[in-house]
Chains A and B, each alone.
Chain A
């Protein structure tokens, strides 16, 4: 026998289920009057410095169907590559209940150390037993020295992490849970 370690195990995850929006964004879910507004409506105040951008995307399940009950959270640095203060940089992106499109109106993040500009995403829904971590990088940025992307063995999968411009200040980033274009998910 040996001594017991003092560290505790993390509490196990469980799926967010079909009604995650009741807890996370009740006003969006049609439950008004409890909170004045939902948390995470926008990541930065309107007067924050930086280039204003809009990113839209759909999370597709393994059959290609848009996941209309998905909740995405985003976390990013400001235009100077700094995190915070307060809740700045964080947003909650409930998918549109009709078409599954989530929309992030934000500012383009700056590089963080050697990491190229990126936005971390955390994806939960019914059927996802533990939240999925991924990242948005931006087409046209120099990604060659990014230490996270450098660790990806299958270089042909890198495009799944790179948003494509589809207009001035407008970006598209679709996520695929399975299939030929399965998005890279991280454990970090």
Chain B
């Protein structure tokens, strides 16, 4: 894996005062930039054998009985920056239930827990970098930030490619949600075209009649496969 330096302008600002918790949790001094070393160019390798049959089925994976909510297939590819699929990537997701409530002791929102919804899933990408999850569309929820801030419906994604330096956590939003432009967390990203890349389009061709709708969400990780002209880094 050849890591490409991160284009920071495509990412959120660390200090984004509209998202209040970022104020005390953002470094004040500059990051120290330097080329990746073998430590960043390598990473753990996960095998399909660690997965259980229902790991990517959030509708069923807590109890075997279906969760309540709008059934959706979320699918896409994990790609590198040259557009090639990344096989063997570990994709982990977590989300609120259809009412906007997380199964977490710190979440006290008045929407009830769903006894059949846990809220986590995981998959490992196939040869072409493909993954899919069957889940329910999460509800919007209020959160303590401004006096009346609501998160748009979203699914949290954690992705491992082939290198520790590619490590990424992000959030997927749903096409057409009017809460997206109002969200202080979305708006930590200064570039509108970068925000757009977090919004999954409705994919009717991927849906299954009388069963589920589909949304497509591709994820691009840093880096490309090795090139012919790569020089070995001095002393590393």
**Are A and B bound to each other?**
yes
Residues on A lying within 8 angstroms of B by beta carbon are: 6-24, 26, 29-31, 33-36, 39, 61-63, 65, 67, 69, 73, 75-77, 83-90, 112-115, 118, 120, 122, 124-133, 135, 147-148, 151-152, 157, 177-178, 182-188
B179 contacts the other chain (CB 8 A) = no
Could you tell me if A178 and B28 are in contact, using CB atoms closer than 8 angstroms? yes
Task: Pick from B50, B164, B169, B195: contact of A75, CB below 8 A.
Answer: B164
Could you tell me if A12 and B34 are in contact, using CB atoms closer than 8 angstroms? no
A186 to B29 alpha-carbon distance, docked (Å): 11
28 A-B pairs with CB atoms under 8 Å apart are A9-B10, A9-B194, A12-B10, A13-B11, A13-B170, A18-B106, A19-B156, A23-B156, A26-B94, A34-B55, A35-B122, A62-B25, A73-B167, A87-B44, A112-B37, A113-B235, A114-B235, A128-B25, A129-B11, A129-B19, A130-B11, A132-B27, A147-B235, A148-B34, A185-B27, A186-B33, A187-B32, A187-B33
Task: Pick from B24, B25, B94, B219: contact of A19, CB below 8 A.
Answer: B94
Could you tell me if A10 and B7 are in contact, using CB atoms closer than 8 angstroms? yes
Task: Pick from B45, B55, B61, B221: contact of A86, CB below 8 A.
Answer: B45
With a cutoff of 8 Å between Cβ atoms, the chain A residues found around residue B48 in the complex are none
Given contacts A22-B94, A36-B52, A62-B25, A13 and B103 within 8 Å (CB-CB): no
Interface of chain A, helix or strand or loop or mixed?
loop
B168 contacts the other chain (CB 8 A) = yes
Q: How many A-B residue pairs have CB under 8 A?
A: 265
Could you tell me if B14 and A62 are in contact, using CB atoms closer than 8 angstroms? no
Q: In angstroms, how far is the closest chain A Cβ from the Cβ of B122?
A: 8
Q: How many residues in B have their beta carbons less than 8 Å from beta carbons of A?
A: 88
Could you tell me if A7 and B82 are in contact, using CB atoms closer than 8 angstroms? yes
With a cutoff of 8 Å between Cβ atoms, the chain B residues found around residue A88 in the complex are 44
Across the two chains, which residue of chain A brings its CB closest to B43? Answer: A75
Could you tell me if A115 and B44 are in contact, using CB atoms closer than 8 angstroms? no
Could you tell me if B104 and A29 are in contact, using CB atoms closer than 8 angstroms? yes
Could you tell me if A129 and B13 are in contact, using CB atoms closer than 8 angstroms? yes
Interface of chain B, helix or strand or loop or mixed?
loop
Task: Pick from A23, A120, A135, A185: contact of B93, CB below 8 A.
Answer: A23
Q: In angstroms, how far is the closest chain A Cβ from the Cβ of B26?
A: 7
0/1 interface trace, chain B 58-102, chain A, CB 8 Å (1 if under) = 000111000000000000000111110000000011100000001
A129 to B34 alpha-carbon distance, docked (Å): 21
Q: In angstroms, how far is the closest chain A Cβ from the Cβ of B52?
A: 7
Most A C-beta atoms less than 10 A away, residue of B7, B105, B164, B236:
B164
With a cutoff of 8 Å between Cβ atoms, the chain A residues found around residue B103 in the complex are 22, 30-31
Could you tell me if B32 and A185 are in contact, using CB atoms closer than 8 angstroms? yes
Given contacts A22-B120, A113-B235, A188 and B25 within 8 Å (CB-CB): no
With a cutoff of 8 Å between Cβ atoms, the chain B residues found around residue A85 in the complex are 45
Q: In angstroms, how far is the closest chain A Cβ from the Cβ of B18?
A: 11
Task: Pick from A6, A29, A177, A188: contact of B37, CB below 8 A.
Answer: A188
Known A115-B37, A186-B33; 17 more pairs at CB < 8 Å: A10-B220, A12-B12, A12-B197, A14-B12, A16-B169, A17-B171, A20-B158, A22-B118, A31-B120, A62-B28, A84-B45, A113-B38, A115-B38, A127-B21, A127-B25, A128-B14, A184-B32
With a cutoff of 8 Å between Cβ atoms, the chain A residues found around residue B147 in the complex are none
0/1 interface trace, chain B 113-136, chain A, CB 8 Å (1 if under) = 000001110100000000000000
